[in-house]
Amino acid sequence: MSCRLCGSQEVQRIEPDEYLYCSNCGFIMIELKELPEPVEEIERYDEHDNSFSSPGYVKMFHDFIEWGLRDILAGVDTALDFGAGPGPVLAELLREHGIDVSLYDPFYYHYPERLNKKYDLITSTEVFEHLHDPAKEIEILVDALKPEAYLAVMTHFHPGPEKFAGWWYKYDETHVGFYNRKTMEWIAKNYKMEIIKIDDFKQVLFQKKR
């Protein structure tokens, strides 16, 4: 049994017992046999109200832009919203800043060729928790960044293996992997990025090194 993010064997079972904690990178993952099938995932995503008609959803992205992107947007011409979902609200908000935004989503915008281009900014909001093979998928994202480009991620940070059993964020069965500050630091180091900004609960901005 090894960590799906860092590959370490330092993985232990935690409560509830279908979850595993990696003490090397801090990642918590659901065990392999519990990963949902694509048909279960799409059913769940179609239930989401991800649109401009949902004020809370729009505010979340406004806050994300204010928090992490406001200071860098002037230097951003092209962006990719990875895991855009059915209602690409963030993309529309970024377009208002004059940015050429491409969308990629395995279910709603399945255009793999867009992952072969290079961007000034990649956003991935409420996506990392869904990744079945985070090591590979993060590598693809970092490869699609130009040197010194930015990767902005939103995913709720887990409270640690001791408190995980009572944590709400895992109850969505399509949420299969959970990160904390230590995990984000591991990602930065291993994918040759720096953390420009991180908060205590869900947002991180990386910059790819030269």
The contact set with Zn ion (CB under 5 A) reads 3, 5-6, 8, 22, 24-25, 27
Judged by beta carbon, residue 5 or residue 101, the one nearer Zn ion is 5
Q: How far are the Cα atoms of 69, 123, 169, 207 from residue 94, in angstroms, in the given order?
A: 10, 10, 27, 18
Q: Which is nearer to Zn ion, 87 or 177 (CB)?
A: 177
Write down the least CB distance from residue 30 to Zn ion, Å: 14
How near is the Cβ of 171 to Zn ion at its closest, in Å? 23
Task: Pick between residue 6 and residue 101 the one whose CB is nearest to Zn ion.
Answer: 6
Q: How far is the CB of 184 from Zn ion (least distance, A)?
A: 12
Q: What is the nearest approach in angstroms of Zn ion to the Cβ of residue 3?
A: 3
Q: Which is nearer to Zn ion, 174 or 190 (CB)?
A: 190
Side-chain half-sphere CA neighbours of 61 within 13 A: 23
